[in-house]
């Protein structure tokens, strides 16, 4: 049986005086204990406050100074290297660990010390992030080099067995190099043609794997997946990662929403690629059956009027006049002292229809 707690008052129930005095003593004791408990609580609170104060002081002592770029923007020339200085507030604060990234490393790359290098014309935004998560940004504009008498011929949709070998022959005859924006599934069919293009010094660039608008423009993920497949195939066959890509239908086509376009650009720029539309055209894919002379004249005229001499010709099997048109253009401009280069040797800004900044 459970022992009943003894009530001191109960023992003296018969003696009311004793009962009262015992009860009062007990009551005092209880009061005293409560007082001790209070003391303990106060001590506890003090200890807690000291700990909190300690943490706050430690935080204050180790807190990062506020960071900011010394300059609000930079302008650089190609080949320039520039340390992006970061100022601190307070100025004598301990510099936190910083990391730097570029949103367009093909234009401006940046190393872990914040040294930026201008590589090609255009703009890039450098983000500096501190250990505690402060994020600051600075815009860098790289000036495009002055165009010397150079023309960049670009071919889309190949390689094809019917057209590409003739195009390569004509280019060789004029000591010209050019750029081939290839379609992955065509490359899969004619890998030897891609290898020949690369071996002859031409630039190889990405024009998607399938060229199927319904597939590639469904979402940015769909486009990137298709793009990556093509880039990997090019790398496998040529040993070189391509630098440029061109959207089928151009950068302002109606199949791609502006959100999809922005997402693709953001990702591919981050990965180090450059977009390239065109600024001159032979009009070989406008649905009109132009003669070789008309297409050649179109090309020559639009090159003369172009801001950036990048011309589009198609080397897929239906465009069987690509080699003849190419020869007419080469003949015309080489007589006038022009040379012809692949886009690997181009250091100007992207031609991009989508942003409305350049191109037409
Ligand atoms: Zn195309």
> Rounded to the nearest whole angstrom, what is the distance from the C-alpha of residue 212 to the centroid of ligand 1?
10
Residue-wise pLDDT for 173-222, tens only, equals 999 999 999 999 999 999 999 999 999 999 999 999 999 999 999 999 99
> Rounded to the nearest whole angstrom, what is the distance from the C-alpha of residue 248 to the centroid of ligand 1?
4
Residue 57 domain-assigned?
Answer: no
Considering the domain architecture, whether residues 164 and 308 belong to the same structural domain is answered as yes
Q: Which two structure tokens, joined as six digits, stand for 190?
A: 């004619």
Residue-wise pLDDT for 19-36, tens only, equals 566 556 666 666 666 788
Considering the domain architecture, whether residues 41 and 80 belong to the same structural domain is answered as no
> Rounded to the nearest whole angstrom, what is the distance from the C-alpha of residue 20 to the centroid of ligand 1?
107
Separation of alpha carbons 324 and 112, rounded Å: 50
Separation of alpha carbons 299 and 311, rounded Å: 7
Separation of alpha carbons 322 and 155, rounded Å: 9
Summarize the confidence of residues 35-53 as an average pLDDT.
88
Tokens 């040294």 correspond to what residue?
115
**Domain membership of residue 99 as a residue range:** 66-143
Which of these three, 100, 124, 143, is where a domain ends? 143
* Backbone φ, ψ for residue 29 (5° rounding): -55, -45
Considering the domain architecture, whether residues 192 and 317 belong to the same structural domain is answered as yes
Least confident of 27-41, 281-295, 316-330: 27-41
Helix or strand holding residue 275 (H, E) = strand 274-275
Residue 95 domain-assigned?
Answer: yes
> Rounded to the nearest whole angstrom, what is the distance from the C-alpha of residue 249 to the centroid of ligand 1?
6
> Rounded to the nearest whole angstrom, what is the distance from the C-alpha of residue 12 to the centroid of ligand 1?
109
> Rounded to the nearest whole angstrom, what is the distance from the C-alpha of residue 146 to the centroid of ligand 1?
29
Which of these three, 143, 171, 192, is where a domain ends? 143
Nearest to 227 by CA among 192, 164, 358, 235: 235
Considering the domain architecture, whether residues 275 and 169 belong to the same structural domain is answered as yes
Q: How many structural domains compose the chain?
A: 3
CA angle 318, 320, 324 (to 5 degrees): 155
Considering the domain architecture, whether residues 130 and 161 belong to the same structural domain is answered as no
> Rounded to the nearest whole angstrom, what is the distance from the C-alpha of residue 44 to the centroid of ligand 1?
76
Protein residues with C-beta less than 5 angstroms from the ion ligand 1: 156-157, 248
Tokens 């023309």 correspond to what residue?
151
């Amino acid at each position: 049986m459970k022992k009943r707690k003894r009530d001191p008052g109960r023992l003296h129930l018969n003696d009311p005086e004793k009962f009262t005095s015992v009860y009062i003593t007990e009551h005092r004791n209880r009061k005293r204990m409560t007082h001790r408990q209070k003391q303990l609580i106060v001590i506890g609170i003090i200890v807690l406050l000291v700990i909190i104060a300690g943490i706050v002081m430690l935080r204050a002592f180790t807190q990062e100074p506020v960071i900011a770029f010394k300059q609000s923007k930079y302008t650089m020339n190609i080949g320039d290297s520039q340390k992006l200085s970061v100022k601190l507030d307070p100025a004598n604060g301990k510099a936190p660990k910083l990391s730097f990234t570029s949103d367009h490393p093909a234009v401006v790359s940046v190393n872990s010390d914040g040294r930026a290098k201008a590589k090609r014309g255009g703009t890039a935004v450098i983000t500096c992030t501190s250990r505690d998560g402060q994020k600051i940004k600075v815009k860098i504009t790289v000036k495009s080099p002055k165009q010397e008498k150079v023309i960049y011929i670009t071919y889309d949709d190949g390689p094809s067995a019917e057209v590409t070998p003739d195009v390569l022959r004509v280019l060789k005859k004029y000591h010209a190099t050019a750029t081939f924006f290839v379609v992955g599934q065509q490359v899969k069919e004619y890998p030897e043609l891609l290898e020949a293009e690369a071996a002859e010094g031409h630039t190889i660039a990405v024009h998607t794997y399938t060229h199927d608008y319904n597939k590639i423009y469904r979402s940015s993920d769909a486009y990137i997946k298709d793009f990556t497949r093509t880039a990997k195939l090019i790398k496998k066959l040529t040993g070189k990662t391509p630098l440029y890509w061109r959207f089928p239908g151009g950068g302002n086509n109606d199949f791609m929403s502006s959100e999809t376009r922005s997402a693709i650009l953001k990702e591919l720029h981050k990965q180090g690629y450059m977009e390239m539309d065109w600024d001159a055209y032979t009009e070989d894919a406008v649905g009109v059956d132009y003669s070789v002379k008309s297409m050649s004249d179109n090309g020559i005229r639009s090159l003369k009027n172009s801001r950036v001499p990048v011309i589009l010709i198609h080397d897929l099997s239906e465009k069987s006049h690509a080699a003849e048109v190419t020869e007419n253009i080469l003949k015309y401009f080489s007589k006038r002292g022009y040379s012809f280069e692949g886009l690997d040797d181009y250091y100007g800004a992207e031609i991009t229809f989508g942003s409305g900044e350049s191109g037409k």
